[in-house]
A and B are shown apart, each in its own frame.
Chain A
Amino acid sequence: MTDPSHPPQPTAAGGRSASPGITTTGTTTSRRANRRTVALMLTPALLLLALFLVLPFLLSIGLSVTNYNLLNRRAVTLFVGLANYASILEDERFWQAAWNTARFALVTVPVQSALALLLAVLVNSGLPGRNLFRGVYFLPTVLSMAVVSVIWAGLLRAPQGVLNALVGTLSGGVLGPYDWLGDETLAMPTIIVLSVWQGVGFQMVIYLAGLQSINAELYEAARIDGASRFQQFLHITLPSLRNTHVFVVLATTVLAFKLFGQVDVLTQGGPLDSTNTLVRYLFNSGFREHRVGFASAASVLFFLLVLGITLVQRALVREDREI
């Protein structure tokens, strides 16, 4: 709609309708050539995706209705229908793993996202040494989870690890020593802290990119309007990062559900299954117990679960394409 008090400007209208796409001006032949180029460039990526993602997934759907077993090669592989699914859903250890995974995700997603945003804002605020901090926070992200876990295993050792020494000294010997990984109530919180520490740098970098794309004049306008630093954060920064929030929360959720490495190295799912996770559950049944059909069914269930959560999240927080 145009304002009646200002006649529509031909330049503005022209600028809007002429999209940068090639198709608006292209003839049929050039459009066909264009389509061929697109297909040609997409093919390698699509082939790889098909080979390493779609095909294995279809295979596991197929395997999930069999009793295929890696060790028992000579036994005939039989169609068992939904028997694998039924026994998974009856398995208490599955539900324990699902609950642990959910617990982990429910804490890490908000905590890690909020912490990442806080660090990004601090690093972005022009404090001295900000490049150093950016590097320091990002460093754990580039380390392999196995390496991180081994380092932390040393720190967390009970009763004479570094962390226990620290807690003991700070509390004047009143607190500790704690068995960080061996105690049923402490193991999961410990895993959560370690995971947040390791992963927060990744989200921080994404938030940093988001922060740097905010028009600096908005903050000046807000200063003129009398907004304090905190009000600027609330009314400019947070809403401007909407699309970044959506991405960070989705990505962190998926990463949280994939929890495996640190648990497998540090606690082997224990004590008493208190840190066992869905990925570790299906990994164990497939590669340690060699029940491939059973594990495939677990992985299909896992896929459906993550898909469902992602869809719900997407529906709740829609990306705002207007901004």
Chain B
Amino acid sequence: MAPVSLRQIRKSYHELSVIHGIDLEIADGEFIVFVGPSGCGKSTLLRMIAGLEEITGGDLTIDGVRANDQSPVERGVAMVFQSYALYPHMTVRDNMAFGLKMAKADRTLIAQRVAEAARILHLERYLDRRPSALSGGQRQRVAIGRAIVRHPKVFLFDEPLSNLDAALRVNTRLEIARLHRDLGNTMIYVTHDQVEAMTLADRIVVLNGGRVEQVGTPAELYERPANRFVASFIGSPAMSFLPAQIAALDGGRLTLALADGRPIPTHHRASEATRLGDPVTIGLRPEHLAPDGPGSAALPVEIQDIEYHGDRRFLYASAPGANGLTMAIPGGRPFQVGDRFDARFDPTALHVFDGAGVALPV
């Protein structure tokens, strides 16, 4: 168990810079998730923490010790790989014991640790099998077991669930959450799936193009995204965006004008750079826009697509100046493609982003 601290961590391959200076303080026992689109540098950052990739610049500290030049074992990290990377010619038992054998651990200690991990992960019956005789989910648990037996200070996961099918993914996600509760280790988890990030993380780090877009709890990211990128990345279905203009700045509160001139009074304040007439973007979560909701603002929409999801439906609609507005509605009133009506929303629930995509303060 250990805090991890990143100060101005950079990575470049020859001339090509892929991580541009990341600062992050991870508390002891925290579950941190790196999330971001493909190629944003999540794996690279994780592999630098693991000691598999050289750190080009900055300081990595694990448990108070500068770790830049330490080996993975000296850092006390264990890692679960996306493809599991189990040793194919070893049994499940030997796979899990390998790290301790390399550390010349006592044989009874090894047996005890392997038994403990097998019990936690329900692998007792498979200890003498080769990985090739296991299902994907079982292999995944062996990979986690291999990490557990070493009692590492920090667990690292690189997209550990992406090779599992949907049902097993939910199952294993819960197991990892339980594991974190039981062991209490610091865990750093990489995924491009924002649902995994939301459900597992104490704090999420949203990465984009080798930079941190925002760090915060799942609720902070969902309710107060710092910018348009985070707003569109977190939440499923994604936030809808509407173009608007700043129509008035009365008493610090902004009034916006939609594309058709309709005024929308908001809670938001102007930043120093905001000027009357500036173009802005309104962001609305699907659950905040409804055909006949309680909101005081109205938006004329036309339904383009309908998706049935059992407990609810998603309506995809167009409005003046915007396409692909999403509404999440419970079953009930039937809708049809082509229907037109005034969708309602609460102006205090919306997000406003300035021309550069930065969220305006509330």
Asked if A25 lies at the interface with its beta carbon under 8 angstroms from chain B, I say no
Q: What residues of A have a CB within 8 angstroms of the CB of B90 in the complex?
A: 239
**26 A-B residue contacts at CB 8 Å?**
A3-B135, A5-B122, A6-B135, A9-B135, A9-B165, A9-B167, A9-B168, A215-B85, A217-B85, A218-B85, A220-B52, A220-B79, A220-B85, A222-B87, A222-B98, A223-B51, A224-B72, A224-B79, A225-B99, A225-B146, A227-B98, A227-B102, A239-B89, A240-B89, A322-B132, A323-B132
User: Known contacts A3-B138, A239-B89, A320-B89; is A226 also within 8 Å of B79 by CB?
Assistant: no
Interchain CB contact under 8 A, A221 and B138: no
20 other A-B residue contacts (CB within 8 Å) besides A5-B122, A12-B165: A3-B135, A3-B138, A6-B137, A6-B168, A9-B165, A9-B168, A12-B136, A215-B83, A220-B52, A222-B87, A223-B72, A224-B51, A224-B77, A225-B102, A225-B146, A226-B103, A235-B87, A235-B98, A322-B88, A323-B89
- List residues of B (99-147) whose CB comes within 8 Å of A's CBs: 99, 102-103, 122, 130, 132-133, 135-138, 146
Bitwise interface map of A from 1 to 26 toward B, beta carbon under 8 Å scored 1, else 0: 01101110101100000000000000
- Say how far A128's CB is from chain B's closest CB, in angstroms: 15
User: Known contacts A226-B73, A322-B130; is A217 also within 8 Å of B98 by CB?
Assistant: no
Bitwise interface map of B from 86 to 99 toward A, beta carbon under 8 Å scored 1, else 0: 11111000000011
How far is A221 from B98 in the complex, measured between Cα atoms in Å?
Answer: 10
Q: What residues of A have a CB within 8 angstroms of the CB of B137 in the complex?
A: 3, 6
Taking a contact as CB atoms closer than 8 A, the residue among A7, A215, A231 that contacts B102 in the complex is A231
| Cβ-closest chain B residue relative to A2 | B135
| Cβ-closest chain A residue relative to B89 | A239
| Cβ-closest chain B residue relative to A5 | B122
Asked if A242 lies at the interface with its beta carbon under 8 angstroms from chain B, I say yes
- List residues of B (144-179) whose CB comes within 8 Å of A's CBs: 146, 150, 165, 167-168, 171
Interchain CB contact under 8 A, A3 and B52: no
- List residues of A (211-244) whose CB comes within 8 Å of B's CBs: 215, 217-218, 220-227, 231, 235-236, 239-240, 242
Q: What residues of A have a CB within 8 angstroms of the CB of B81 in the complex?
A: 217, 220-221
How far is A217 from B160 in the complex, measured between Cα atoms in Å?
Answer: 14
**Pairs A-B, 8 closest by C-beta atoms:** A225-B99, A226-B73, A217-B85, A221-B85, A239-B89, A226-B102, A224-B72, A224-B79
Q: What residues of A have a CB within 8 angstroms of the CB of B72 in the complex?
A: 223-224, 226
| Cβ-closest chain B residue relative to A217 | B85
Interchain CB contact under 8 A, A6 and B85: no
Q: Which A residues fall within an 8 A CB radius of B?
A: 2-3, 5-7, 9, 11-12, 215, 217-218, 220-227, 231, 235-236, 239-240, 242, 320, 322-323
Q: Which B residues fall within an 8 A CB radius of A?
A: 50-52, 71-73, 77-79, 81, 83, 85-90, 98-99, 102-103, 122, 130, 132-133, 135-138, 146, 150, 165, 167-168, 171
| Cβ-closest chain B residue relative to A322 | B132
Interchain CB contact under 8 A, A225 and B98: yes
Q: What residues of A have a CB within 8 angstroms of the CB of B136 in the complex?
A: 12
How far is A218 from B98 in the complex, measured between Cα atoms in Å?
Answer: 12
Interchain CB contact under 8 A, B122 and A221: no
How far is A322 from B133 in the complex, measured between Cα atoms in Å?
Answer: 9
Interchain CB contact under 8 A, B102 and A221: no
User: Known contacts A6-B137, A323-B89; is A226 also within 8 Å of B171 by CB?
Assistant: no
| Cβ-closest chain B residue relative to A3 | B138
How far is A7 from B168 in the complex, measured between Cα atoms in Å?
Answer: 9
Q: What residues of B have a CB within 8 angstroms of the CB of A6 in the complex?
A: 135, 137, 168, 171
How far is A80 from B250 in the complex, measured between Cα atoms in Å?
Answer: 122
| Cβ-closest chain B residue relative to A242 | B89
Q: What residues of A have a CB within 8 angstroms of the CB of B168 in the complex?
A: 6, 9
User: Known contacts A3-B122, A6-B171; is A323 also within 8 Å of B165 by CB?
Assistant: no
